[in-house]
Structure 1
Amino acid sequence: MIRLTTNILGVFALKNGRIIERILFPMDVEKIADRLEVIKDGVSEEEAAIIEKLKRSGVREVYVIDPERFPSTLGIKFLKDSEIIDPSYLAEEIGIGREEFSELISKVNLELAKRRLKGIGRDQILIQAINSIDELDESINKLVKRLREWYSLNFPELDYVIKNNETYAKAVSSVDKLDKGLRNRINSLRRESTGIEFSERDYEVVTALSDSILCLYSTRREIESYIDHLMSDIAPNLSTLAGPMLGARLIALAGGLERLSFLPASTIQVLGAESAFFRFLRTGKKPPKHGVIFQLPEIRSSPKRMRGKVARTFAAKVAIAARADHFNGKFVGDKLRRDFLRKIEKLK
Structure 2
Amino acid sequence: MLVLFETAAGFAVFKLLDEKKIQNVENMAEAFLTAESAANVVQLSEFHKFHDSAEALAASVSINEGNMCKSLKVLIKKVIKKELHKQLLVLDAKLGNSIKNKFPELNIVSSSHVSELIRCIRGQMNSLIPGISEKESSAMMLGLGHNLARYKLKFSPDKVDIMVVQAVKLLDDLDKELNNYVMRAKEWYGWHFPELAKILTDNTSYINTILKMGFRENASTTDLSEFMSEELSDRVKEAAEVSMGSEISDMDICYMRYLCTEIMELTAYRSHLHEYLTHRMVSLAPNVSILLGELIGARLISHSGSLLNLAKNPASTIQLIGAEKALFRALKTKKQTPKYGLIYHAELITKAPTKCKGKMARMLAAKVALATRVDAMGEETNYDLGINHRVALLSKINLWNSGKSHKISGQSKHFTPQSYISDNRAGQGHYSARQDSTITGIKKDEDQDLENNTPSKKIKKDEKPLITEMVESPEKKKKKKKKN
The aligned counterpart of 2:29 is none
| Aligned partners of 1:157 and 1:193 also within 8 Å | yes
Give distance in 1, aligned partners of 2:363 and 2:229.
Answer: 47
Task: Give the 5 Å matches for 1:1-348.
Answer: 122-175=160-213, 176=224, 178-179=227-228, 181=230, 182-328=232-378, 330-331=382-383, 332-348=385-401
Shift of residue 281 of structure 1? 1.8
Letter paired with 2:274: E
The aligned counterpart of 1:105 is none
- Structure 1 residue runs of 5 or longer lacking an equivalent are 1-118
Give distance in 1, aligned partners of 2:194 and 2:245.
Answer: 6
Give distance in 2, aligned partners of 1:336 and 1:207.
Answer: 49
Give the total of aligned pairs.
230
Shift of residue 171 of structure 1? 1.7
Letter paired with 2:227: L
Shift of residue 164 of structure 1? 1.7
Secondary structure in 1 aligned to 2:321? Answer: coil
Letter paired with 1:333: G
> For each residue in 1:137-171, what CA deviation from the matched residue of structure 2 results, as whole angstroms up to 9, or x when unmatched?
11111111111111111001011011122222222
| Aligned partners of 1:317 and 1:340 also within 8 Å | no
Secondary structure in 2 aligned to 1:174? Answer: helix
Letter paired with 1:250: L
| Aligned partners of 1:321 and 1:336 also within 8 Å | no
> For each residue in 1:97-134, what CA deviation from the matched residue of structure 2 results, as whole angstroms up to 9, or x when unmatched?
xxxxxxxxxxxxxxxxxxxxxx9971111011011110
The aligned counterpart of 1:11 is none
Shift of residue 188 of structure 1? 2.4
Give distance in 2, aligned partners of 1:178 and 1:253.
Answer: 38
Letter paired with 2:182: V
Secondary structure in 2 aligned to 1:290? Answer: coil
The aligned counterpart of 1:34 is none
Secondary structure in 1 aligned to 2:192? Answer: coil
| Aligned partners of 2:285 and 2:376 also within 8 Å | yes
Secondary structure in 2 aligned to 1:197? Answer: coil
Secondary structure in 1 aligned to 2:367? Answer: helix
> For each residue in 1:185-223, what CA deviation from the matched residue of structure 2 results, as whole angstroms up to 9, or x when unmatched?
322221211100111111111111111111111111010
Letter paired with 2:203: N
> For each residue in 1:54-86, what CA deviation from the matched residue of structure 2 results, as whole angstroms up to 9, or x when unmatched?
xxxxxxxxxxxxxxxxxxxxxxxxxxxxxxxxx
Change in CA separation of 1:280 and 1:180 when aligned onto 2, cut-off 3 Å: closer
Give distance in 2, aligned partners of 1:147 and 1:168.
Answer: 9
Change in CA separation of 1:346 and 1:262 when aligned onto 2, cut-off 3 Å: farther
The aligned counterpart of 1:70 is none
Change in CA separation of 1:120 and 1:284 when aligned onto 2, cut-off 3 Å: farther
Secondary structure in 2 aligned to 1:136? Answer: helix
| Aligned partners of 1:129 and 1:227 also within 8 Å | yes
Give distance in 2, aligned partners of 1:271 and 1:216.
Answer: 29
Change in CA separation of 1:142 and 1:282 when aligned onto 2, cut-off 3 Å: same
Give distance in 2, aligned partners of 1:255 and 1:310.
Answer: 25
Change in CA separation of 1:311 and 1:136 when aligned onto 2, cut-off 3 Å: same
| Aligned partners of 1:136 and 1:216 also within 8 Å | yes
| Aligned partners of 2:288 and 2:368 also within 8 Å | yes
Give distance in 2, aligned partners of 1:163 and 1:180.
Answer: 13
Secondary structure in 1 aligned to 2:179? Answer: helix
Q: Percent identity?
A: 37
RMSD: 1.9
| Aligned partners of 2:301 and 2:307 also within 8 Å | yes
Letter paired with 2:177: S
The aligned counterpart of 1:61 is none
Using the TM superposition, name which of 249-258 and 223-232 deviates more: 249-258
Q: Give the alignment's TM-score, normalised by structure 1.
A: 0.63
Give distance in 2, aligned partners of 1:320 and 1:344.
Answer: 20
Change in CA separation of 1:256 and 1:316 when aligned onto 2, cut-off 3 Å: same
Letter paired with 2:357: R
Give distance in 2, aligned partners of 1:146 and 1:283.
Answer: 40
| Aligned partners of 2:159 and 2:283 also within 8 Å | no
Give distance in 1, aligned partners of 2:212 and 2:362.
Answer: 48
> For each residue in 1:237-285, what CA deviation from the matched residue of structure 2 results, as whole angstroms up to 9, or x when unmatched?
1111111111111111221110111111111111111111111121112
| Aligned partners of 2:348 and 2:393 also within 8 Å | no
Shift of residue 303 of structure 1? 3.7
- Structure 2 residue runs of 5 or longer lacking an equivalent are 1-156, 214-223, 402-484
Give distance in 2, aligned partners of 1:263 and 1:229.
Answer: 25
| Aligned partners of 1:130 and 1:252 also within 8 Å | yes
Shift of residue 180 of structure 1? 5.0
Bigger relative contact order, structure 1 or 2 (CA pairs below 8 A, ≥6 apart): 1
